[in-house]
Amino acid sequence: MEWQAEGLIIGTRKHGENAVIIETMTAEYGRHLGLVKGGRSRKYAALLQPGNSVQLTWRARLADHLGMFTVEALALRAANLMESRQRLALSQLLCEHLRLLPERDPHPRLYAEALAMHENEADGEILARGLVKFEMRLLNELGFGIDTSSCAVTGETAGLCYVSPRTGRAVTKEAGEPYKDKLFALPEVLGGALQMDKAAEIEAAFRLTGHFLHLHIWSPRQLSPPSMRQALIEGLVNGLY
């Protein structure tokens, strides 16, 4: 068995005396693991870092085996990421999110969005909007999407402003107004119609995705939210005030 693809390194762990198991995300083969012999040597020290893009060749005797990776550098970003606390936290969070995906299950749009955010040097509002949309897509592709197609009460497709924290269904402003203190705001960045200033909009969007990530993914798997997520969000939001 053999394939070749470009991949984003999202995690590593030691194996034996000098090998490393790397966890990568590819467009064609999804989240995929493989062994790199000699991966703990100086030769690979700068290459096998999360956030780097590499050319992968995977080989195994059978398809369900761990297999062996050979890797060549495509884009070594790790050193530059370390120069910016915000961009390093972003990279770490994206990698943690991608590690939630089922192994070997292709998610090409998530891969493309994660790669684009690694390559884009924008920060502030652009970065925040890209990240919260990524979290929304992650929920959708894991089967826990927030339903913003129509109002759960009236069936209307326009003017959706709130989301139920229990069902994930959206409602219009009129239908949700009596219960708005118990509902999540649905800001424009996530397809809603609720008018808010930039900082409040981003904060509300992350509050919404964070709730459903915890409800459907982190809590059932007995995981804590990624430690860098809250600090990164606070930094992004504070920069918009």
Model confidence pLDDT, tens digit, residues 17-54: 899 999 999 999 999 999 999 999 999 989 999 999 99
**Angle at CA 184, nearest 5°, toward 179 and 186?**
115
End-to-end CA distance of the chain: 53
Q: Of how many residues is the chain composed?
A: 241
Question: How does pLDDT run across 105-130, given as a tens digit for each residue?
Answer: 999 999 999 999 999 877 788 999 99
Query: How many secondary structure helices (H) and strands (E) does the chain include?
Result: 8, 8
Contact yes or no for 100/141 (Cβ under 8 A): no
What is the Cα–Cα distance from 142 to 101, expressed in whole angstroms?
A: 7
Instruction: Give 54's contacts (C-beta < 8 A, 6+ positions apart).
Output: 6, 7, 9, 24, 47, 71, 72, 73, 74
- Does residue 168 sit in helix, strand or coil? coil
For helices 85-98 and 124-141, give the axis angle rounded to 10 degrees: 10
Question: How does pLDDT run across 183-197, given as a tens digit for each residue?
Answer: 999 999 999 999 899
Contact yes or no for 141/110 (Cβ under 8 A): yes
Strand ranges (DSSP E) for the chain? 2-15, 19-26, 30-36, 53-59, 68-75, 160-163, 170-172, 184-185
Q: How confident is the model at residue 213 (pLDDT cuts 50, 70, 90)?
A: very high
Write out the two tokens for 53. 């893009």
Question: How does pLDDT run across 143-179, given as a tens digit for each residue?
Answer: 999 999 999 999 999 999 999 999 999 999 999 999 9
